[in-house]
Amino acid sequence: MLPGVLHLNYCSITLSAAQALASSSAETIEFTELPLMNDACVSLVLEMAEHVKLSIGRIWGASEYLGRMERMNLILLSRYAESVNLEGISDLSHQEADVLSAFQGHQLLLHLDRLDEVTAAHLSRVRTELLMLEVPRLCDDAATALSRSLASEELQISVSEDSVSVKAADELSQYGGHALSIELGIEPSPDILRMLAQFTGHLRITVPRLTAEAAMAVGNSNGTLELHCETPTPDIRQILLNSKREITNLDELTG
């Protein structure tokens, strides 16, 4: 362990333990995983973060924490974590999304019941490698905001109950990171896939089914493609084999 670094692997901490940490001389305090704590402990930990480097390995799921601390406190702590999955928080206020925009860890995963343009704009400012959003539907304005995402490696969007519009697909294809991953709950039109295929990085698409016209649309572009759908028919397999775009899981689709 480096001098001045206090590494902790606690399942939970009491108020007295938090007070002891607050009075320690450590320059860096690292939690393997966010321990369970109440709001009084959270206040002390957040105060510590003002004068020591606070690092949290991961926060994986929100539900077990929300019985002990206010939701905003969990979101405030999330800014200091490397990997965060806030499953259990199904909606974000604009203020909460603004707080999360300061997240700079490795990955941020959110499962939301709705996503408006303002919330999406806040989340687009998150500087992370992977930003994953799961929503039932995605409006055009939110898609436009997310297309400006600062996630450097991958933007991952799962629209569980719908497809996206042609305009939204066009906007998302402008994302500037390395990989764009889109999962759609219903079969998209060829025009939607044609717009998504404008993305020139690694495009990962998951759809229930694929028509021949849609297969031609998504394959007629540059970059690489990872495609997931139900077993293609022979004519679609042939289209994929002749695709201009490199399909990284072609053997899986045509085998």
Dump pLDDT digits (tens) for 158-200: 999 999 999 999 999 999 999 999 999 999 999 999 999 999 9
CB 49 within 8 A of CB 80: yes
For 105-114, the CB contacts below 8 A with 24+ separation are 105/81, 106/82, 106/130, 107/82, 107/83, 107/131, 107/132, 108/78, 108/84, 108/132, 109/84, 109/85, 109/134, 110/86, 110/134, 111/86, 111/87
Q: What's the whole-number average pLDDT of the chain?
A: 95
Average pLDDT of the segment spanning 120-139: 98
Which amino acid would we find at residue 196?
L
Q: What value does the mean pLDDT take over residues 14-21?
A: 93
Question: pTM of the full predicted structure?
Answer: 0.94
Residue 3: what pLDDT?
A: 55
pLDDT of 1 reads 46
CB 100 within 8 A of CB 121: no
Interstrand relation of 81-85 and 53-60 (parallel, antiparallel or unpaired)? parallel
Q: pLDDT (tens digit, 9 = 90+) per residue, 84-93? A: 999 999 999 9
d(CA 52, CA 144): 38
DSSP state for residue 105 in the 8-state scheme: S
pLDDT band at 124; cut points 50, 70, 90 = very high
Q: How confident is the model at residue 25 (pLDDT cuts 50, 70, 90)?
A: confident
Question: In sequence order, what are the beta bridge partners of 29?
Answer: 6, 54
Please name the residues in contact with 252: beta carbons below 8 A apart, sequence gap of 6 or more: none
Beginning with the edge strand found earlier in the chain, give each strand of the sheet holding 28-31 in spatial order: 5-8, 28-31, 53-60, 81-85, 107-111, 130-135, 154-159, 179-184, 202-206, 224-228, 246-247
What angle, 0 to 180 degrees and rounded to 10, lies between the N-to-C axes of helices 39-48 and 71-78? 30
What's the whole-number mean pLDDT along residues 131-154?
Answer: 98
User: DSSP 3-state assignment of 77?
Assistant: helix
Does residue 82 have a pLDDT over 80?
yes
Task: Say whether pLDDT at 148 is over 60.
Answer: yes
Q: What average pLDDT does range 30-56 have in this prediction?
A: 96
Residue 181, Cβ density class (10 Å: 0-12 exposed, 13-18 middle, ≥19 buried) = middle
Q: What is the DSSP letter of 25?
A: -
